[in-house]
Chain A
Amino acid sequence: MPQTITIDGVTRIEGHAKITIQLDDAGKVYDAQFHVTQFRGFEKFVQGRPLTEMPGIMARICGICPVSHLMAAAKACDDILAVQIPPTAEKLRRIMNLAQMIQSHALSFFHLSSPDLLFGMDGDPKQRNIFGLIRDHPDFARDGIMLRKFGQDIIAKLGGKKIHPAWVVPGGVNAPLTEEVQDSILKEVPAAIERIDRALDYFHQIEGRYPAEEDAFANFPTLFAGLVTADGLLEHYHGPLKFVDQDASLVAELSPADQRHYGSLIGEAVEKYSYLKFPYFKPRGYPDGIYRVGPLARLIVAERCGTRRADMELGAFRTRLGRSPQSSFHYHWARLIEILYGIEMIQRLLQFPDILNTHIRARARPNRLEGVGVSEAPRGTLIHHYKIDDNGLIQWANLIIATGHNNLAMNRGVRQVAERFVDGNKLQEGMLNRVEAVIRCFDPCLSCSTHALGQMPLRIELCKADGEVCDVLQRD
């Protein structure tokens, strides 16, 4: 008789996700779904608001990656104003975007995922969390906390606030960089590099310990998408959007100007079981047009990073895993490489002679009625698309968030893990944790806040077809 296992996030915290695993009569997995049951409706309630408020409003979508929404929103507004923002403003926005990536990756890797890697997927859940990490691996934990702080401090210094800075505005930024802030950030760079180097050394020792997870954590061929520079290097703010196949060969590319027509390459499917849309690569149809975004995808899409240390580390990554590793397990390593890249790049940007320039904002009225902004959030490509009326009020908005792009792959990944680690109708902690861990590889935005203590409040129900619950596993 078919049975259904449901992993349900307890709803006390925002970002509700639920996993259903369906068993066939023989107790084997035959399907799995990752449901996003929250609906925030930003696209609806921005209607009628002035365009210039959009970055500020959009930054409120998420308390974890507000800066990313700020960037994409500001870029969509720039597009509507039809302005070229001053070069200094672009560099400053880039610094903030990279700082956001560093702090987000540090949270994802050190606080949320590394306990799994250090204590083992079957480790005692009581110690397999950030507190256990601080107790047993204090130096490693401290490096993680300090790297996150490095990113957060930059955001706070530039924007005046850690969480929802209103500093990025249509046309640029609203306050120039001061020499004092420039110095204070540059001063922190060597320590940050030391920390990420140490973390990478440590990671090299442990990353080979999980062959089964490597093998089954969303390990299947898909397309990959991400921004690159005009020269094909790693990029997070502006550049061609590239789709490559599982061998990293080019499939399609949208120049920044063509990104207004993202709809020619990206379709958005809707499934009954989730509020999160399912974007797919249109030319391949649904669901064959499955693709992944985020740190791993970016490292596959890019030829190189473009900074010295990160490129060396990328070399090691590719030597060990090949040019385009397909297992999402490798998002972790990719994240560390991007942290390193981010620190190097921030240093480079801060040393540009024009970085203290006070011309940081282009002023204009709307010159187009429609605009698209594409940037790379820590979790992957982020697209904001707005239409305005003649008076500059938002008429319509569409957002494709990073977690959305990965939705198909996450669903398929959950199924793969379930197939490997779920057997029979008895639930085990390690299984639950692996299902959760594969989701965590993608670092989906929706429940990262609930991850903050290392454990997602979870409920798995194993149900018979008639709805009778025959096993429950719960942690809150």
Chain B
Amino acid sequence: MTSAVSSGESITLKIDDKDISCRSGETILAVARENNIDIPTLCFMEGLSVWGGCRLCLVEVAGSPKLQAACATVCTEGMNVVTASPRLKEYRKMIVEMLFAERNHVCSVCVSNGHCELQDMAVKLEIDHVRFPYRYPHLQVDNSHDRARMDHNRCILCTRCVRVCAEIEGAHTKDVKGRGVLAAIIHDLDQPWGESETCTSCGKCVNVCPTGALTHRGTAVGEMQKKTDFLPYLTLMRRTES
């Protein structure tokens, strides 16, 4: 969730020199966005638990030697946050460049070309080339599922799919195996998706995936467009019912 349960107590802080007040317990990311201050994210998704893995939302907090992930840091009284220093911009660029270099993101022939959050992020961060050598790993496309397809070449390991499957659908079909560059999304006990016993074929993972890694089967280049509206709606409905 964006905000840990807020106690309702009002606090004040500064974000990018702007005086802001919020409820205690809210995260820097939530408060910044409420105040139209844009902090880029890839793994974060409203309605899912916070993962803090992509590190794009790193911000500077006065008095702290470490950069903090805005999605996972709760605001405190008198905090002074900087969201867009030259250093942060440079780090964010590097992070996205590394995502491109890590796997095979061939945008021009990708089903998500033109509708991809990673691509949009590169544009937003004004990335015009990648300074790191590409790894060109040999990765598989899992086309075994009847309705969806997993292309590991395009996965950025944001785990949105894992979280939506476990937290919203309740199936927990997906998970992450391995570490570092060897990490990969798996289904059940690392078997082809189509052989999964737990997958309900709900398609939620496809829609939350920011890239062309998860797509509907049968889509051609540039055709895959994700529908993410269901998520805040679903969470809202569940909250009002409970």
Contact = CB atoms under 8 A, between A and B. Distances in A.
A48 B220 contact: no
B149 interface: yes
Given A57-B109, A60-B108, A60-B109, A52 B218 contact: yes
23 contacts: A48-B140, A48-B141, A50-B141, A50-B143, A52-B218, A53-B109, A53-B221, A55-B221, A56-B109, A56-B220, A56-B221, A57-B109, A60-B108, A60-B109, A166-B113, A169-B223, A170-B218, A363-B218, A365-B217, A391-B142, A391-B143, A391-B194, A393-B143
Contact of A52 (B108, B142, B220): B220
A56 B111 CA distance: 9
A164 interface: yes
A68 to B, nearest CB: 16
B144 A169 contact: no
Interface in A36-60: 48-50, 52-53, 55-57, 60
A174 interface: yes
B79 to A, nearest CB: 47
Interface in B192-240: 194, 217-223
Contacts of A48: 140-141
Interface string B132-166: 00000000111110000101000000000000000
A56 B222 contact: yes
Contact of B220 (A60, A169, A391): A169
The 6 closest A-B pairs by CB, nearest first: A56-B221, A391-B143, A169-B220, A166-B222, A166-B221, A57-B109
Given A55-B221, A392-B143, 19 more contacts: A50-B149, A50-B151, A52-B111, A55-B220, A56-B109, A56-B221, A164-B108, A166-B220, A166-B221, A166-B222, A166-B223, A169-B220, A169-B223, A170-B218, A170-B220, A174-B220, A174-B223, A391-B194, A392-B217
Nearest to A46: B109
A53 B222 CA distance: 9
B80 to A, nearest CB: 47
Contacts of A56: 109, 220-222
Contacts of A392: 143, 217
Interface of B: 108-109, 111, 113, 140-144, 149, 151, 194, 217-223
Contacts of B111: 52-53
Nearest to A57: B109
Contacts of B141: 48-50, 393
A48 B143 CA distance: 10
A50 B141 CA distance: 8
Given A164-B108, A393-B141, A393-B143, A57 B221 contact: yes
A410 B185 CA distance: 51
Residue of B111, B194, B218 most packed against chain A (CB within 10 A): B218
B189 to A, nearest CB: 19
B196 to A, nearest CB: 14
B222 A391 contact: no
A39 B168 CA distance: 49
A57 to B, nearest CB: 5
A255 to B, nearest CB: 28
B118 to A, nearest CB: 18
A50 B149 CA distance: 9
B74 to A, nearest CB: 43
A393 B220 CA distance: 13
Contacts of B221: 53, 55-57, 166
B214 to A, nearest CB: 13
B192 to A, nearest CB: 8
A334 to B, nearest CB: 33
B194 to A, nearest CB: 8
B112 to A, nearest CB: 11
B224 to A, nearest CB: 10
A174 B223 CA distance: 9
A164 B109 CA distance: 10
A169 B223 CA distance: 10
A40 to B, nearest CB: 14
Interface string A435-476: 000000000000000000000000000000000000000000
A57 B140 CA distance: 17
B219 A52 contact: yes
A277 B111 CA distance: 31
Interface string A157-182: 00000001010011000100000000
Contacts of A391: 142-144, 194
A393 B140 CA distance: 10
Nearest to A52: B220
A317 B140 CA distance: 54
Contacts of A55: 220-221
Residue of A49, A391, A393 most packed against chain B (CB within 10 A): A391
A365 B217 CA distance: 9
A389 B127 CA distance: 37
Nearest to B216: A52
Nearest to A388: B143
A391 B218 CA distance: 11
Contacts of B149: 50
Interface in A350-398: 363, 365, 391-393
Contacts of A60: 108-109
Nearest to A391: B143
A181 B149 CA distance: 35
Residue of B142, B217, B221 most packed against chain A (CB within 10 A): B221
